[in-house]
Chains A and B, each alone.
Chain A
Amino acid sequence: MTLAQITASPSLGEVQRSSTLSRWVSQHAAILLLGLVLLILPAVASDFIFVQVFGWAMILGIIALSLMFLGGYGGMVSLAQMTVAGVAGYMVAVFGASSLPYVSLFWPWWVAVPIAIAIAVAFGALTGALSARTEGIYTIMITLAIAAAFFYLTLQNWPIFNGFAGFTTIPAPIAFGINWKHPLPLYYLILFFAALSYVVVLYISRAPFGLALQGVRDNPRRMEAIGYNVTAHRVAAYAFAALLAAIGGILMVWLNNQISPGSTGIDASIDLLIIAVVGGLGHPIGAFVGAIIYVILRTFALDSLVAIGLDGRRFQTLIGLCFLAIVLFSPDGVIGLWRRWVARTRGGRSAS
């Protein structure tokens, strides 16, 4: 009942309603405009802005999108998505190149990246298999326990994960004659995968698998009764979400040039949940909206807190309070605020 309240916004009816022409045009106009802005951004903004702010936000957006997919369409709020991204990132460092010759295998990227993604997807599917057998709120407990266990493993384990130091100098590969390490190619690589994963998630949400998944979210028993394998759908959803998270995790490692327990730890997992919830679990774009809000807050809040005379180190309190405000007053996130605002400006016709 309650999971549905928060996550039920992209319901089956709405998909059909939104296919009326005016809704279609207005929605796509916004998305196309956003795409255009992101495409020409490198021409007008500095390296720092378009890579460290927008590139970083899109990577977080991809990983948050995997959470949104699970939470919004599957009704399973998983806290282990950052961990899946971390597994992929660590595996790229282990199988590919890094500054640790005695750990890294220095295999070429076209071997290392598929292996890393495969391991991360297997890990994600295992997580799903473990938590899909229990329901609802247990999912958060189990996935958080998994995320925390992985964090402490990376912290304590030296032979594979190199303890708290982690890996540094993990370069993006040189492929197809382009050095993807440079800001501009890397930015477009990130943009490509962000757009791709957005479109794919949108497509799957209307494909038979996505519709069945939403059915499982709304009423698992009825779906079971009409012959769907509920557990298999859930595990498959986890596996697909893990694929998204793994792509995000590898891009994250290439962007930051390092990975350590801190980048996949409990705080990072929780931040990811905050991103997804603040953006809104109701629509795939929410993940990216949440990510850009988070990154802008993270990048500029420190200075602005100091500017208005507060302690810049209280950044976490600010994030926590923003999150609390969203959860308390708009459970469907910024997307929900936006939808209500649109509904109000369009007059009482569509108001509930």
Chain B
Amino acid sequence: MATAFGGENGARVPARGDALGRWVGHHPIAALAVAVAIIVVLWLVLAPWPTGFEDVFGRKRLFINAIFNGVTLGALYFLVATGFTLIFGLMRYVNLAHGSLYLFGGYMGYEAGEWTGSWLFGFVIAFISCAIVGMAMQFFIFRRMEGQDLRQTLVTLGLSIVFSDLMVWVWGGNAIQIDTPDYLMGPTPTPIVVAVKSSGEAVFLQYPRVRLVIFVAAVVIGIGMWLALHRTRIGVMIRAGVDDRDMLSVLGYRVQLLFILVFAFGAGLAGIAGIVGGTFQSISLGEDSHFLLASLQVVIVGGMGSIPGAALGAIIIGCAEQLGQTYFQNYATVLTFVIMVIVLALRPQGLLGRR
């Protein structure tokens, strides 16, 4: 099994720079389809819709709101799933307690926010507390069953059951809403036309500021992670570990320390996402499995162990969920499920995953 996972990963890695060009060269039809899809979506978002068009597809405001909600939800999913995929990519077990870490971060952020009155301080507390829990899990439990991926996964499952029950004990079953701070309250005008009045005046979209800020923050975190992975020494170590961790440890690097750091970082990101989720929606019992599912779907669609894949998968799953809820409520989950099935059928390793 170990060879099936680790051995083939590093076999043939195309140079980063021309990967896109090579992909286009190899798959001209798929590339054309992607380009057309991007242009269509851009047109749908940017251009004012012709009147006949709105009769068929409903109001543009509805569509734009679904897309914006989907993309910002995707930002939240990215924060959760990126830690999940990083842990999976490096340590090769599925952290089924990731949803519990998300929920725990949300609760800790809520408590910190109530206590100090600062929304931002909550992020620090959530990150640190989840990172400590993650480090403890890696240090005391997973380190002892190195390489036994099924057993480690089962342990995370047991831990998630205990964690979620203990959290119900402490915080009860009621939903908790984290208040948006005043400076992020209210709508922000955007330069996107949703409708044209009869007088010819364009109506622009107003969108909640906090969601836009979170989206920008997620993008910044994503770019920061990309830079850290590709421009720093520890990033090189992590990428080498994803490709072949046995070889990394043979070369004398302290793989266990790396595992603990990555687990702490991934858990911390889940904690941060908990606050974001508590601000967007609410945190409550059952949200842990919701976000575990979201991470699974994002990682399956985007590619297992790939951070750009997590970003792509998060946007796709977020948009699919929101569009589904807007246009066919009874079958909204079927849409994400169908996307997952198509990806698994055509590309079992995920859109941006490597075999």
**Which residues does A use to contact B, with CB under 8 Å?**
1-7, 77, 130-131, 133-138, 140-142, 144-146, 148-149, 152-153, 156-159, 266-267, 270, 273-274, 277, 311, 313-317, 319-321, 323-324, 327-328, 331
Q: Which B residues from 246 to 294 make CB contacts under 8 A with A?
A: 289, 292-293
Q: How far is the CA of A328 from the CA of B2 in the complex (A)?
A: 21
Task: Please report B residues at the A interface, Cβ cutoff 8 Å.
Answer: 1-2, 4-5, 92-94, 96, 141, 147-151, 153-155, 157-159, 161-162, 164-166, 168-169, 289, 292-293, 296-297, 299-300, 304, 329-334, 336-337, 340-341, 344-345, 348-349
Contact pick for B150, options A77, A144, A314, CB 8 Å: A77
Nearest 6 Cβ contacts at the A-B interface: A320-B161, A316-B165, A320-B162, A324-B158, A148-B293, A2-B148
Closest Cβ of chain B: how far from A225's Cβ, in Å?
Answer: 15
Whether B333 contacts A2 by the Cβ 8 Å rule is no
Contacting pair B150 A137 (CB below 8 A): yes
A319 nearest in chain B by CB position: B161
Known: A135-B1, A146-B337, A327-B155. A2 touches B161 (CB 8 A): no
B147 interface neighbour in A1, A142, A146, A323, Cβ under 8 Å: A1
- Report chain B residues within 8 Å CB of A134: 344, 348-349
Question: In the complex, what's the smallest C-beta–C-beta distance from A127 to chain B, in angstroms?
Answer: 10
- Asked if residues B293 and A141 are in contact (CB atoms below 8 Å), the reply is no
Q: Are A149 and B340 in contact (CB under 8 A)?
A: yes
**When the two chains form their complex, are residues B169 and A314 in contact, meaning their CB atoms are under 8 A apart?**
yes
Chain B neighbourhood of A1, CB < 8 A: 1-2, 147
Residue of B4, B157, B330 touching A270 (CB-CB under 8 A): B157
Question: How far is B160's CA from A320's CA once the two chains are assembled, in angstroms?
Answer: 8
Contacting pair B148 A140 (CB below 8 A): no
CB-defined A-B contacts under 8 Å, sample of 7: A1-B2, A130-B341, A137-B92, A153-B331, A267-B289, A316-B161, A316-B162
Bound-state Cα–Cα, A112 to B17, Å? 58
Given known contacts A141-B299, A316-B165, is B148 in contact with A149 (CB within 8 Å)?
Answer: no
Q: A148-B293, A148-B296 in contact; A133/B150 too (CB < 8 A)?
A: no
Q: For the complex, what is the distance from the CA of A290 to the CA of B4, rounded to whole Å?
A: 31
Q: How many A-B residue pairs have CB under 8 A?
A: 141
For the residues of A in contact with B, the DSSP-based class is: helix
**Contact partners of A77 in chain B: CB under 8 A:** 150
- Asked whether A4 lies within 8 Å of B348 as measured between CB atoms, the reply is no
A136 touches B149 (CB 8 A): yes
B288 → chain A closest CB, angstroms:
10
Among candidates A135, A140, A267, A315, residue contacting B153 with C-beta atoms closer than 8 Å = A140
The answer to whether B300 and A136 have CB atoms under 8 Å apart is no
- Shortest distance in angstroms between A252's beta carbon and chain B's nearest beta carbon? 21
* The one of B93, B155, B165 that contacts A324, using a Cβ cutoff of 8 Å: B155
CB distance B155 to A317 under 8 Å? no
Contact in complex: A145, B340 (CB < 8 Å)? yes
- Complex CA gap A277/B158 in Å reads 11
CB pair A149–B94 under 8 Å, yes or no, is no
- Rounded to whole Å, the gap between the CB of B217 and the closest CB of chain A is 27
What is the bound-complex CA distance between A75 and B340, given in angstroms? 23
Taken together as a complex, chains A and B put the C-alpha atoms of A189 and B159 apart, in Å, by: 37
Chain A residues with Cβ below 8 Å from B159 are 320, 324
Contact B151 A331 (CB under 8 A): yes
The chain A residue with its CB closest to the CB of B293 is A148
Q: Please state if B330 and A137 are interface contacts (CB–CB under 8 Å).
A: no
In whole angstroms, what is the CA distance A137 to B2 when docked?
11
Q: Which residues of A sit under 8 angstroms from B333, Cβ to Cβ?
A: 149, 152-153, 156
> How many Å from the CB of B302 to the closest CB on chain A?
12
Quick check: A328 and B331 within 8 Å, CB to CB? Answer: no
Nearest CB of A to B347, in Å: 10
Chain B residue numbers with a CB within 8 Å of A270 are: 157, 161
Q: Closest CB of chain B to A276's CB: distance in Å?
A: 11
Chain B contacts for A145, CB-based, 8 A:
293, 296-297, 300, 340
